[in-house]
Amino acid sequence: MRNGASAEKVEAALGDYKKSPLFSEREKAALELCERMTYTNKRVTDRFFKKLSRYFSDEELVELAAIIALENFRSKFNPVFAVEAQGFCPLPAVKEVAAAAASRFHE
């Protein structure tokens, strides 16, 4: 990855990041926030928010939550209009999903 996480770290984030030595406790908290904001059966509880507050300032939490919400929005919005990946995240699974979404409009 250009200026972000290594490919190894991205793969670890998609797996069991909680047990991975590649992530700091701060990064693990951010990844858990991603899960809690993305999966409908999970919530950001007061207890978890308190944990986040140990690692992030109020300003950082607002920015982090906004970015996660934006990515969740894009994951639902883009396939409707067959918006393909722009090459910023060249993971094979992402390419396959984009191709499947695009085929919906060409059948």
Residue 52 to residue 82: CA distance in whole angstroms = 35
Give per-residue pLDDT as tens, 28-37.
999 999 999 9
pTM value?
0.72
Inter-residue contact 92 to 63 (CB < 8 Å): no
**Which H or E element spans position 22?**
none
Give per-residue pLDDT as tens, 25-76.
999 999 999 999 999 899 999 999 999 999 999 999 999 999 999 999 998 9
Instruction: Count Cα atoms within 13 angstroms, Cβ side, for 58.
Output: 0
Residue 14 to residue 72: CA distance in whole angstroms = 15
Q: What is the dihedral of CA 23, 24, 28, 31, to 10 degrees?
A: -60
